[in-house]
Amino acid sequence: MPLFGKDLGIDLGTVNTLICDGGEIVLYEPTVVAIDIEELKIVDVGQSAREMDGRVPDVIEVCRPLRDGVIADFEVTHRLLGHFVEKVCGPSRLFKPRVMITVPLGVTSVERRAVHEAALQAGSREVYLIQEPLAAAIGVGLPIATPSGNMVVDLGGGVTQAAVIAMSGIVSEDATRIGGMKLDEAIVSYVRKKYGLIIGSRTAEEAKIRIGAAIPQDEERTIEIQGQDQVTGLPRPITLTTGEVIEALQETLQLQLVAVRNVLERTPPELASDIIDRGMLICGGGSLLRGIDKWLTSATGIPAYLAEEPVACIAKGAVRGLGMLERLRRTLPQV
Ligand SMILES: Nc1ncnc2c1ncn2[C@@H]1O[C@H](COP(=O)(O)OP(=O)(O)OP(=O)(O)O)[C@@H](O)[C@H]1O
Ligand SMILES: [Mg+2]
Protein backbone atom coordinates (compact mmCIF):
# COMPACT_ATOMS: atom_id res chain seq x y z
CA MET A 1 0.00 0.00 0.00
CA PRO A 2 1.36 3.46 -0.81
CA LEU A 3 2.55 5.56 2.13
CA PHE A 4 -0.26 8.09 1.92
CA GLY A 5 -3.24 5.82 1.51
CA LYS A 6 -4.82 3.38 -0.88
CA ASP A 7 -5.04 3.46 -4.65
CA LEU A 8 -8.67 3.01 -5.68
CA GLY A 9 -10.35 2.44 -9.03
CA ILE A 10 -13.94 3.67 -9.09
CA ASP A 11 -16.41 2.76 -11.81
CA LEU A 12 -19.14 5.35 -11.28
CA GLY A 13 -22.04 4.04 -13.36
CA THR A 14 -25.62 5.15 -13.95
CA VAL A 15 -26.86 1.90 -12.38
CA ASN A 16 -23.96 0.51 -10.32
CA THR A 17 -20.83 1.78 -8.64
CA LEU A 18 -17.84 -0.51 -8.15
CA ILE A 19 -14.66 0.20 -6.22
CA CYS A 20 -11.48 -1.78 -6.72
CA ASP A 21 -8.67 -1.73 -4.15
CA GLY A 22 -5.55 -3.40 -5.55
CA GLY A 23 -6.87 -6.41 -7.47
CA GLU A 24 -10.05 -6.83 -5.43
CA ILE A 25 -13.55 -5.46 -5.90
CA VAL A 26 -14.30 -4.13 -2.41
CA LEU A 27 -17.61 -2.42 -3.17
CA TYR A 28 -20.38 -3.16 -5.68
CA GLU A 29 -23.58 -1.24 -5.00
CA PRO A 30 -26.41 0.42 -6.90
CA THR A 31 -25.80 4.13 -7.61
CA VAL A 32 -28.88 5.00 -5.60
CA VAL A 33 -29.59 7.39 -2.75
CA ALA A 34 -32.65 7.67 -0.48
CA ILE A 35 -33.38 11.26 0.54
CA ASP A 36 -35.79 12.65 3.13
CA ILE A 37 -37.20 15.49 1.04
CA GLU A 38 -38.72 17.31 4.01
CA GLU A 39 -35.52 17.50 6.03
CA LEU A 40 -33.29 17.38 2.92
CA LYS A 41 -31.23 14.63 4.49
CA ILE A 42 -29.73 11.51 2.97
CA VAL A 43 -31.31 8.54 4.68
CA ASP A 44 -29.49 5.71 2.97
CA VAL A 45 -27.13 4.95 0.09
CA GLY A 46 -26.50 2.00 -2.23
CA GLN A 47 -28.17 -1.40 -1.87
CA SER A 48 -30.23 -0.55 1.20
CA ALA A 49 -31.48 2.67 -0.45
CA ARG A 50 -32.51 0.71 -3.53
CA GLU A 51 -34.48 -1.72 -1.40
CA MET A 52 -36.52 1.20 -0.05
CA ASP A 53 -37.79 2.05 -3.52
CA GLY A 54 -41.58 1.90 -3.58
CA ARG A 55 -41.75 0.66 0.02
CA VAL A 56 -41.37 3.87 2.01
CA PRO A 57 -43.54 6.93 2.70
CA ASP A 58 -43.68 9.73 0.13
CA VAL A 59 -41.31 11.95 2.11
CA ILE A 60 -38.49 9.61 1.21
CA GLU A 61 -37.40 9.83 -2.39
CA VAL A 62 -35.21 7.13 -3.87
CA CYS A 63 -33.17 8.58 -6.71
CA ARG A 64 -30.30 7.94 -9.08
CA PRO A 65 -27.94 10.94 -9.14
CA LEU A 66 -26.48 9.94 -12.52
CA ARG A 67 -28.40 10.02 -15.76
CA ASP A 68 -27.16 8.60 -19.07
CA GLY A 69 -23.72 8.05 -17.57
CA VAL A 70 -23.17 11.60 -16.33
CA ILE A 71 -23.83 13.41 -13.08
CA ALA A 72 -27.32 14.88 -12.98
CA ASP A 73 -27.25 15.89 -9.30
CA PHE A 74 -23.82 17.01 -8.14
CA GLU A 75 -24.58 17.42 -4.43
CA VAL A 76 -26.07 13.96 -4.10
CA THR A 77 -23.32 12.31 -6.18
CA HIS A 78 -20.51 13.65 -4.05
CA ARG A 79 -22.32 12.56 -0.88
CA LEU A 80 -22.85 9.10 -2.39
CA LEU A 81 -19.18 8.84 -3.35
CA GLY A 82 -18.14 10.12 0.08
CA HIS A 83 -20.21 7.40 1.70
CA PHE A 84 -18.73 4.68 -0.53
CA VAL A 85 -15.13 5.88 -0.13
CA GLU A 86 -15.54 6.00 3.65
CA LYS A 87 -17.00 2.49 3.62
CA VAL A 88 -13.89 1.26 1.83
CA CYS A 89 -11.21 3.36 3.53
CA GLY A 90 -12.70 3.93 6.99
CA PRO A 91 -13.52 7.33 8.47
CA SER A 92 -9.87 8.46 8.73
CA ARG A 93 -9.19 11.75 6.94
CA LEU A 94 -5.47 11.15 7.38
CA PHE A 95 -4.86 8.54 4.70
CA LYS A 96 -6.76 9.84 1.71
CA PRO A 97 -6.83 7.55 -1.32
CA ARG A 98 -5.52 8.29 -4.79
CA VAL A 99 -8.37 7.65 -7.17
CA MET A 100 -8.86 6.81 -10.84
CA ILE A 101 -12.55 7.26 -11.64
CA THR A 102 -14.41 6.47 -14.85
CA VAL A 103 -16.27 8.79 -17.21
CA PRO A 104 -18.11 7.81 -20.37
CA LEU A 105 -16.79 8.72 -23.82
CA GLY A 106 -17.94 12.02 -25.21
CA VAL A 107 -18.59 13.84 -21.93
CA THR A 108 -18.34 17.61 -21.90
CA SER A 109 -15.69 19.47 -19.91
CA VAL A 110 -18.37 20.55 -17.43
CA GLU A 111 -19.39 16.92 -16.91
CA ARG A 112 -15.74 15.88 -16.48
CA ARG A 113 -15.12 18.59 -13.93
CA ALA A 114 -18.20 17.51 -11.98
CA VAL A 115 -16.88 13.94 -11.63
CA HIS A 116 -13.39 15.18 -10.71
CA GLU A 117 -14.77 17.57 -8.11
CA ALA A 118 -17.20 15.00 -6.68
CA ALA A 119 -14.35 12.51 -6.20
CA LEU A 120 -12.18 15.17 -4.53
CA GLN A 121 -14.95 16.25 -2.20
CA ALA A 122 -15.57 12.59 -1.38
CA GLY A 123 -12.18 12.55 0.32
CA SER A 124 -9.66 11.65 -2.39
CA ARG A 125 -6.12 13.01 -2.33
CA GLU A 126 -5.53 12.94 -6.08
CA VAL A 127 -8.10 12.23 -8.79
CA TYR A 128 -7.59 11.03 -12.36
CA LEU A 129 -10.32 10.38 -14.91
CA ILE A 130 -10.38 7.46 -17.35
CA GLN A 131 -12.75 6.60 -20.20
CA GLU A 132 -14.78 3.46 -19.40
CA PRO A 133 -13.83 1.40 -22.50
CA LEU A 134 -10.13 2.19 -21.96
CA ALA A 135 -10.41 1.07 -18.32
CA ALA A 136 -12.13 -2.13 -19.47
CA ALA A 137 -9.36 -2.83 -22.01
CA ILE A 138 -6.72 -2.41 -19.31
CA GLY A 139 -8.77 -4.47 -16.85
CA VAL A 140 -8.93 -7.48 -19.16
CA GLY A 141 -5.29 -7.11 -20.17
CA LEU A 142 -5.72 -6.31 -23.89
CA PRO A 143 -2.38 -5.35 -25.49
CA ILE A 144 -3.33 -1.68 -25.73
CA ALA A 145 0.26 -0.40 -25.96
CA THR A 146 0.88 -2.17 -29.28
CA PRO A 147 0.22 -0.59 -32.69
CA SER A 148 -2.59 -3.05 -33.44
CA GLY A 149 -6.23 -2.17 -32.89
CA ASN A 150 -8.32 -3.39 -29.94
CA MET A 151 -12.06 -2.83 -29.98
CA VAL A 152 -14.13 -2.58 -26.80
CA VAL A 153 -17.90 -2.22 -26.49
CA ASP A 154 -19.31 -1.31 -23.06
CA LEU A 155 -23.02 -2.02 -22.76
CA GLY A 156 -23.91 -0.10 -19.61
CA GLY A 157 -27.18 0.73 -17.92
CA GLY A 158 -27.29 4.31 -19.20
CA VAL A 159 -24.81 4.44 -22.08
CA THR A 160 -23.49 2.24 -24.86
CA GLN A 161 -19.89 3.01 -25.75
CA ALA A 162 -17.56 1.69 -28.38
CA ALA A 163 -13.89 2.46 -28.90
CA VAL A 164 -10.86 1.29 -30.81
CA ILE A 165 -7.62 1.53 -28.84
CA ALA A 166 -4.04 1.33 -30.12
CA MET A 167 -0.68 2.65 -28.86
CA SER A 168 -2.28 3.35 -25.45
CA GLY A 169 -4.67 5.84 -27.02
CA ILE A 170 -8.25 5.95 -28.26
CA VAL A 171 -8.25 6.02 -32.06
CA SER A 172 -11.98 6.15 -32.71
CA GLU A 173 -14.94 6.32 -30.36
CA ASP A 174 -18.67 6.81 -30.12
CA ALA A 175 -21.26 6.71 -27.38
CA THR A 176 -25.02 6.71 -27.37
CA ARG A 177 -27.09 7.51 -24.34
CA ILE A 178 -29.09 4.33 -24.72
CA GLY A 179 -28.40 1.40 -22.43
CA GLY A 180 -29.94 -1.30 -20.28
CA MET A 181 -32.48 1.02 -18.68
CA LYS A 182 -33.93 1.77 -22.10
CA LEU A 183 -34.25 -1.99 -22.69
CA ASP A 184 -36.31 -2.18 -19.48
CA GLU A 185 -38.53 0.67 -20.73
CA ALA A 186 -39.03 -1.21 -23.99
CA ILE A 187 -40.37 -4.21 -22.04
CA VAL A 188 -42.67 -1.93 -20.01
CA SER A 189 -44.20 -0.48 -23.17
CA TYR A 190 -44.44 -3.88 -24.91
CA VAL A 191 -46.43 -5.32 -21.98
CA ARG A 192 -48.67 -2.26 -21.85
CA LYS A 193 -49.46 -2.45 -25.55
CA LYS A 194 -49.88 -6.22 -25.80
CA TYR A 195 -51.60 -6.98 -22.48
CA GLY A 196 -52.97 -3.59 -21.35
CA LEU A 197 -50.92 -4.08 -18.21
CA ILE A 198 -48.80 -1.51 -16.41
CA ILE A 199 -45.60 -2.89 -14.91
CA GLY A 200 -42.73 -1.19 -13.11
CA SER A 201 -39.20 -0.89 -14.51
CA ARG A 202 -37.85 -3.22 -11.83
CA THR A 203 -40.26 -5.95 -12.92
CA ALA A 204 -39.22 -5.36 -16.52
CA GLU A 205 -35.54 -5.57 -15.59
CA GLU A 206 -36.15 -8.82 -13.73
CA ALA A 207 -37.85 -10.30 -16.79
CA LYS A 208 -34.95 -9.15 -18.99
CA ILE A 209 -32.34 -10.69 -16.69
CA ARG A 210 -34.18 -13.93 -15.86
CA ILE A 211 -35.63 -14.88 -19.26
CA GLY A 212 -34.46 -12.27 -21.76
CA ALA A 213 -32.19 -12.72 -24.75
CA ALA A 214 -31.13 -10.86 -27.88
CA ILE A 215 -31.75 -13.76 -30.27
CA PRO A 216 -33.89 -16.92 -30.07
CA GLN A 217 -32.51 -19.49 -27.65
CA ASP A 218 -32.73 -23.29 -27.54
CA GLU A 219 -34.17 -22.97 -24.09
CA GLU A 220 -37.37 -20.89 -24.04
CA ARG A 221 -38.05 -19.64 -20.50
CA THR A 222 -41.11 -18.03 -18.96
CA ILE A 223 -41.73 -15.70 -16.03
CA GLU A 224 -44.93 -14.76 -14.25
CA ILE A 225 -45.10 -11.03 -13.63
CA GLN A 226 -47.61 -8.89 -11.80
CA GLY A 227 -48.95 -5.62 -13.12
CA GLN A 228 -51.88 -3.28 -12.89
CA ASP A 229 -54.68 -3.57 -15.44
CA GLN A 230 -54.77 -0.36 -17.48
CA VAL A 231 -58.59 -0.28 -17.50
CA THR A 232 -59.75 -1.71 -14.18
CA GLY A 233 -56.73 -0.62 -12.16
CA LEU A 234 -56.69 -4.04 -10.51
CA PRO A 235 -53.60 -6.22 -10.11
CA ARG A 236 -53.31 -8.99 -12.68
CA PRO A 237 -50.58 -11.55 -13.47
CA ILE A 238 -49.36 -12.55 -16.93
CA THR A 239 -46.78 -15.04 -18.14
CA LEU A 240 -44.09 -13.61 -20.37
CA THR A 241 -41.90 -15.79 -22.62
CA THR A 242 -38.32 -15.42 -23.84
CA GLY A 243 -39.63 -14.93 -27.37
CA GLU A 244 -41.76 -11.99 -26.28
CA VAL A 245 -38.85 -10.32 -24.47
CA ILE A 246 -36.65 -10.77 -27.55
CA GLU A 247 -39.34 -9.08 -29.66
CA ALA A 248 -39.68 -6.23 -27.14
CA LEU A 249 -35.93 -5.55 -27.14
CA GLN A 250 -35.14 -5.51 -30.87
CA GLU A 251 -35.77 -1.85 -31.63
CA THR A 252 -33.68 -0.61 -28.69
CA LEU A 253 -30.86 -3.07 -29.46
CA GLN A 254 -30.70 -1.54 -32.95
CA LEU A 255 -30.24 1.89 -31.37
CA GLN A 256 -27.37 0.58 -29.23
CA LEU A 257 -25.79 -0.77 -32.38
CA VAL A 258 -25.41 2.74 -33.81
CA ALA A 259 -22.39 3.48 -31.59
CA VAL A 260 -20.69 0.24 -32.67
CA ARG A 261 -21.32 0.92 -36.37
CA ASN A 262 -20.10 4.51 -36.10
CA VAL A 263 -16.83 3.42 -34.55
CA LEU A 264 -16.25 0.80 -37.21
CA GLU A 265 -16.84 3.43 -39.89
CA ARG A 266 -14.38 5.82 -38.25
CA THR A 267 -11.61 3.26 -37.80
CA PRO A 268 -8.67 3.50 -40.23
CA PRO A 269 -8.48 0.45 -42.55
CA GLU A 270 -5.22 -0.89 -41.08
CA LEU A 271 -6.74 -1.10 -37.63
CA ALA A 272 -10.06 -2.35 -38.97
CA SER A 273 -8.32 -5.42 -40.36
CA ASP A 274 -6.87 -6.15 -36.87
CA ILE A 275 -10.35 -5.92 -35.45
CA ILE A 276 -11.81 -8.27 -38.03
CA ASP A 277 -9.11 -10.77 -36.96
CA ARG A 278 -9.32 -10.27 -33.21
CA GLY A 279 -12.97 -9.40 -32.74
CA MET A 280 -14.53 -6.96 -30.29
CA LEU A 281 -14.58 -7.34 -26.53
CA ILE A 282 -17.95 -6.73 -24.92
CA CYS A 283 -18.39 -5.75 -21.28
CA GLY A 284 -20.78 -3.95 -18.91
CA GLY A 285 -23.96 -5.40 -17.39
CA GLY A 286 -25.73 -5.42 -20.77
CA SER A 287 -23.19 -7.89 -22.14
CA LEU A 288 -24.78 -10.51 -19.84
CA LEU A 289 -27.93 -10.55 -21.97
CA ARG A 290 -28.09 -14.05 -23.45
CA GLY A 291 -27.06 -14.16 -27.09
CA ILE A 292 -25.91 -10.53 -27.30
CA ASP A 293 -22.48 -11.69 -28.53
CA LYS A 294 -24.02 -13.63 -31.41
CA TRP A 295 -26.44 -10.80 -32.12
CA LEU A 296 -23.58 -8.27 -32.41
CA THR A 297 -21.51 -10.68 -34.47
CA SER A 298 -24.26 -11.15 -37.02
CA ALA A 299 -25.16 -7.44 -37.08
CA THR A 300 -21.58 -6.26 -37.70
CA GLY A 301 -19.78 -9.25 -39.22
CA ILE A 302 -17.12 -8.92 -36.52
CA PRO A 303 -16.83 -11.60 -33.84
CA ALA A 304 -17.95 -10.28 -30.45
CA TYR A 305 -16.67 -12.02 -27.33
CA LEU A 306 -17.54 -11.52 -23.67
CA ALA A 307 -14.92 -10.25 -21.20
CA GLU A 308 -14.00 -12.71 -18.48
CA GLU A 309 -15.24 -10.37 -15.75
CA PRO A 310 -17.62 -8.22 -17.81
CA VAL A 311 -18.65 -5.85 -15.03
CA ALA A 312 -15.65 -5.90 -12.67
CA CYS A 313 -13.05 -5.36 -15.42
CA ILE A 314 -13.78 -1.61 -15.61
CA ALA A 315 -13.01 -0.78 -11.96
CA LYS A 316 -10.07 -3.20 -12.04
CA GLY A 317 -8.66 -1.48 -15.11
CA ALA A 318 -9.16 1.94 -13.52
CA VAL A 319 -6.98 1.10 -10.53
CA ARG A 320 -4.39 -0.54 -12.77
CA GLY A 321 -4.36 2.66 -14.84
CA LEU A 322 -2.90 4.51 -11.84
CA GLY A 323 0.26 2.49 -12.36
CA MET A 324 0.41 3.53 -16.03
CA LEU A 325 -0.10 7.28 -15.69
CA GLU A 326 2.94 8.24 -17.71
CA ARG A 327 1.93 6.06 -20.66
CA LEU A 328 -1.72 7.13 -20.53
CA ARG A 329 -1.06 10.84 -20.01
CA ARG A 330 -1.91 11.87 -23.57
CA THR A 331 -5.16 9.91 -23.57
CA LEU A 332 -6.77 10.47 -20.17
CA PRO A 333 -9.45 13.19 -20.05
CA GLN A 334 -8.11 16.38 -18.48
CA VAL A 335 -10.07 18.72 -16.23
N1 LIG B 1 -28.04 -10.91 -16.99
C2 LIG B 1 -28.33 -9.73 -17.52
N3 LIG B 1 -28.96 -9.64 -18.72
C4 LIG B 1 -29.24 -8.46 -19.28
N5 LIG B 1 -28.96 -7.27 -18.71
C6 LIG B 1 -28.34 -7.29 -17.52
C7 LIG B 1 -27.98 -8.50 -16.86
N8 LIG B 1 -27.39 -8.19 -15.68
C9 LIG B 1 -27.36 -6.85 -15.61
N10 LIG B 1 -27.93 -6.29 -16.69
C11 LIG B 1 -28.15 -4.87 -16.99
O12 LIG B 1 -26.92 -4.19 -16.97
C13 LIG B 1 -27.17 -2.81 -16.65
C14 LIG B 1 -26.16 -2.36 -15.63
O15 LIG B 1 -24.90 -2.51 -16.18
P16 LIG B 1 -23.65 -1.73 -15.62
O17 LIG B 1 -23.48 -1.99 -14.17
O18 LIG B 1 -22.50 -2.04 -16.52
O19 LIG B 1 -24.14 -0.22 -15.85
P20 LIG B 1 -23.48 1.11 -15.33
O21 LIG B 1 -22.00 0.98 -15.42
O22 LIG B 1 -24.00 1.46 -14.00
O23 LIG B 1 -24.04 2.15 -16.37
P24 LIG B 1 -23.28 3.14 -17.38
O25 LIG B 1 -21.92 2.59 -17.63
O26 LIG B 1 -24.12 3.14 -18.60
O27 LIG B 1 -23.27 4.46 -16.70
C28 LIG B 1 -28.59 -2.73 -16.13
O29 LIG B 1 -29.40 -2.10 -17.10
C30 LIG B 1 -28.97 -4.18 -15.93
O31 LIG B 1 -30.35 -4.40 -16.15
MG1 LIG C 1 -20.56 1.48 -16.78
**Cα(231) to centroid(ligand 1), Å:** 33
Residue 28 lies in a domain: yes
Can you give the CATH number for the domain in which 201 is found? 3.90.640.10
> Into how many domains does the chain fold?
3
Phi and psi angles of residue 87, each rounded to the nearest 5 degrees, phi first:
-60, -35
Spatial contact of 257 and 129, defined as CB atoms under 8 Å apart: no
Instruction: Return the CA Rg of the chain.
Output: 20
Spatial contact of 157 and 180, defined as CB atoms under 8 Å apart: yes
Determine the pLDDT at residue 137: 98
Closest Cα to atom 13 of ligand 1: 157
CB of 157 closer than 6 A to ligand 1?
yes
Whether 198 and 115 map to the same domain: the answer is: no
Residue 54: give the domain boundaries. Answer: 7-134+315-328
CB of 214 closer than 6 A to ligand 1?
no
Query: 10 Å Cβ neighbour count for 209?
Result: 15
Residue 1 lies in a domain: no
Whether 46 and 115 map to the same domain: the answer is: yes
pLDDT in tens, the chain (335 residues): 455 789 999 999 999 999 999 899 999 999 999 999 999 899 999 999 999 987 888 899 999 999 999 999 999 999 999 999 999 998 877 789 999 999 999 999 999 999 999 999 999 999 999 999 999 999 999 999 999 999 999 999 999 999 999 999 999 999 999 999 999 999 999 999 999 999 999 999 999 999 999 999 999 999 999 999 999 999 999 999 999 999 999 999 999 999 999 999 999 999 999 999 999 999 999 999 999 999 999 999 999 999 999 999 999 999 999 999 999 999 999 99
CB of 69 closer than 6 A to ligand 1?
yes
Whether 323 and 303 map to the same domain: the answer is: no
**Cα(5) to centroid(ligand 1), Å:** 31
Ligand number, closest to the Cα atom of 284: 1
CB of 9 closer than 6 A to ligand 1?
no
CB of 286 closer than 6 A to ligand 1?
yes
Whether 32 and 116 map to the same domain: the answer is: yes
